[in-house]
Amino acid sequence: MGYSNKYQWILVPENLPTVIRNCPKCNEKMHFINSEKFRVNANKNNLDIWLIFQCEKCKSTWNMTIYDRINSFYIKKEEYEKFLANDRNLVKQYAFNLSLYTKIKAEVTLNNINYKLISEKLDAIYINEDELVIEMNCKYPMELRIDKLLCDKLLLSRSKIKSLHKSGLIFINDNKNCLTTKVKDGLELHVLKVTENGKLLKAII
């Protein structure tokens, strides 16, 4: 049975993660802001590539290692040129690569990430026509909970969202069905198409 009451919420980060580390000049832990610039150093056939961060207070720089003494053979020419050009999408790709921070034991925070939400209508086939389904499209890691997202998008209080969830009018299609679940790619949120959800449905659409 086909129906088109499925929407995709695309979450696009508007800023990049920061790193918390000791600043030698400030002599305390500070947030280091992503400069959105790479530094590339060539030594014969070997390359060192870093992503540059700056202390938010004194502007001291810290270079986060992307590649260390890697043979240029292993980096595609297209990507190498993007490093040299400080390509915005490549910066974002590495800035949200949490394994890089783990590898060098850097303290990264995602709590300050702002996002833009884009809603798109999709066509889908579902058995239950009484539900409106929202599929999350979130390609980058974010510390954003479902209840906070719903509050932001629907302009409702957290207690109201909690009440709708408790009454079964909103639920998450997983084994936990918990509003404190963090937004992740592919997660589906279901909203029952009932009179009590009239304003809610209009806000989603």
- Full-model pTM: 0.83
Average per-residue pLDDT for the chain = 88
pLDDT of residue 2: 46
What are the tokens at 46? 């070997």
Q: Confidence class of residue 92 from pLDDT cuts 50, 70 and 90?
A: very high
Strand order in the sheet with 107-109: 61-71, 46-55, 28-43, 18-23, 107-109
Question: Residue 108 above 60 pLDDT?
Answer: yes
Those residues with Cβ within 8 angstroms of residue 165's Cβ, 6 or more apart along the chain or in another chain = 147, 171, 179
95-107 tens-digit pLDDT: 999 999 999 999 9
The structural domains of the chain, with segments of one domain joined by +, span 2-13+113-204, 18-109
Instruction: Indicate the length of the chain as a whole number.
Output: 205
Residue 15 · residue 33 · CB < 8 Å: no
151-189 tens-digit pLDDT: 988 888 899 899 889 988 889 987 789 999 999 999 999
Residue 41 · residue 167 · CB < 8 Å: no
Q: CA 96 → CA 23, 30, 88, 105, 140, distances in Å?
A: 22, 19, 12, 15, 6
